[in-house]
């Protein structure tokens, strides 16, 4: 007698999350996602306005030993706002024309796109259900807005995301030391990510020591490459100015949200000097976020294949939430956290999918306080994803002997 096989209901939450993201694309007529997808095949669809200052910094350091690279730092528009070592990867394009640099950087961005999807596939892969990994990766390739936006902008976030993803995959395979090194390398382009290493060290000392050793090597290399004066300038002038944050709507952070709620115009790409209350509240929220991270990582109980990778992903989420500047494309590594949680059929993570992966057209939302608050929809999705990860890490029974903790 034939008995019809009941459909696997575990697929319902991720499919609903993907469907909601697809609906947002339809409502937007594919414009936001389409620009990123087009950038994968046409250089002209992307731009290098953001990475161009890094090319200029690399050129200056090639032309003159320890040349000043922060002299033209500006509150408005794009500037070189990274540690000196972050200019080094742009050296191959330093003396190319603007068009030549555009073409070369676009190739690197596409390679990073493929690498990120491959890492997500590795994390989502389930030997018992061989469809879930490829399906998640295929949907993410077309629908994950932070990733497509990073490709469109040819952002250095793509490079740091490759290192974060590599760290999770290495941890999943028991290469904990190398996972720490990869995580440290991500901070070359996004210095706030340096905090991920000491947070994960709460769980894994080996991860922490190798990450710190990598930081030491990178620090020496940066001093040799960029010179002492540039580092002093970066620490004393650039970083303090950046700490005020941007009200520009793609800044999905506590400070960006508070600036917009205070009525700062949300459509200018420029740094603002926040009011004293905003600076204080932003600092309190950031410190509270990091404090919660310490508490959770000391209490999490999940071991096995996903324990340490999810701890790294959670530490990254907390650090990104605590940062005064968290652009939409800074949330690219959320794809790795989602890859694990979707495979584990975490329902709450699936609720976060449309807010983290989708795009809401916020133009015209600044007319009232509710609209300005709603501009931080990606921040809200990241908070939901963080809660989902915390629940996954703390609701499991610890194995009596686990090689994942060391």
> Residue 300 in contact with residue 203, Cβ under 8 Å?
yes
Q: Quick one: pLDDT band at residue 1, thresholds 50, 70, 90?
A: very low
Tell me whether residue 28 is in a domain.
no
Is 297 a residue whose pLDDT tops 60? yes
CB 21 within 8 A of CB 354: yes
Q: What is the mean pLDDT of residues 93-110?
A: 96
400 confidence band (pLDDT: 50, 70, 90): very low
How many residues can be counted in the chain?
406
Residue 8 counted as domain residue? no
CB 378 within 8 A of CB 258: no
Residue 20 domain flag:
no
- How many domains does the chain divide into? 1
303 lies in some domain: yes
Is 342 part of a structural domain of the chain?
Answer: yes
For residue 396, what pLDDT band results from cuts at 50, 70 and 90?
low
Cα–Cα distance for residue pair 39/290, rounded to 1 Å = 36
The domain of 175 spans: 34-231+245-394
Specify if 7 maps to a domain.
Answer: no
118 pLDDT above the threshold of 80: yes
Residue 88 sits at φ, ψ, to 5 deg, of: -55, -45
Q: What are the structure tokens assigned to 70, written together?
A: 């922060």
In this prediction, residue 182 has a pLDDT band, given cuts at 50, 70 and 90, of very high
Bridge partners of 343? none
Query: Does 27 map to a domain?
Result: no
Token representation of residue 2: 């034939």
For residue 141 the two structure tokens come to 């390739």
Beta-ladder partners of 271? 246
Quick check: is 289 in a domain? yes
Half-sphere CA count of 134, side-chain side, radius 13 A? 4
- Cα dist from 12 to 322, 343, 355, 391, whole Å: 32, 12, 18, 20
- Select from 11, 118, 10 the least CA-distant residue to 336: 118
């Amino acid at each position: 007698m034939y008995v019809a096989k009941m459909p696997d209901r575990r697929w319902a939450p991720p499919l609903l999350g993907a469907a909601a993201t697809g609906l947002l694309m339809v409502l937007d007529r594919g414009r936001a996602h389409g620009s990123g997808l087009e950038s994968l095949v046409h250089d002209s669809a992307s731009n290098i306005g953001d990475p161009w200052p890094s090319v200029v910094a690399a050129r200056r350091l090639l032309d003159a030993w320890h040349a000043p690279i922060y002299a033209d730092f500006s509150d408005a528009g794009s500037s070189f706002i990274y540690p000196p070592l972050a200019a080094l990867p742009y050296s191959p394009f330093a003396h190319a024309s603007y068009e030549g640099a555009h073409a070369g950087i676009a190739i690197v961005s596409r390679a990073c796109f493929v690498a990120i999807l491959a890492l997500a596939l590795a994390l989502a892969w389930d030997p018992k259900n061989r469809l879930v990994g490829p399906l998640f990766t295929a949907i993410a390739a077309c629908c994950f807005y932070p990733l497509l936006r990073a490709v469109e902008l040819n952002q250095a976030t793509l490079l740091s995301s490759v290192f974060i993803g590599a760290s999770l995959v290495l941890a999943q395979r028991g290469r904990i030391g190398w996972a720490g090194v990869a995580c440290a390398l991500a901070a070359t382009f996004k210095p706030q990510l340096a905090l991920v290493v000491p947070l994960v060290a709460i769980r894994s000392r080996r991860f922490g020591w190798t990450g710190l050793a990598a930081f030491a090597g990178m620090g020496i290399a940066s001093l040799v490459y960029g010179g002492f004066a540039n580092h002093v300038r970066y620490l004393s002038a650039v970083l303090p100015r950046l700490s005020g944050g941007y009200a520009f709507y793609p800044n999905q952070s506590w400070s960006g949200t508070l600036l917009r709620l205070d009525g700062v115009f949300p459509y200018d790409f420029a740094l603002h000097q926040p009011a004293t209350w905003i600076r204080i509240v932003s600092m309190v929220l950031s410190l509270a976020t990091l404090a919660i991270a310490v508490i959770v990582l000391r209490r999490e109980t999940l071991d096995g294949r996903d324990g340490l990778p999810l701890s790294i992903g959670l530490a990254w989420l907390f650090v990104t939430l605590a940062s005064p500047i968290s652009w939409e494309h800074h949330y690219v590594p959320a794809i790795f956290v989602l890859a694990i949680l979707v495979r584990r059929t975490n329902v709450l993570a699936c609720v976060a999918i449309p807010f983290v992966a989708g795009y809401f057209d916020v133009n015209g939302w600044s007319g009232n306080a509710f609209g300005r608050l709603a501009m931080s929809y990606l921040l809200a999705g990241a908070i939901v994803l963080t809660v989902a990860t915390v629940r996954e890490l703390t609701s499991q029974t610890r194995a009596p002997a686990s090689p994942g903790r060391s």
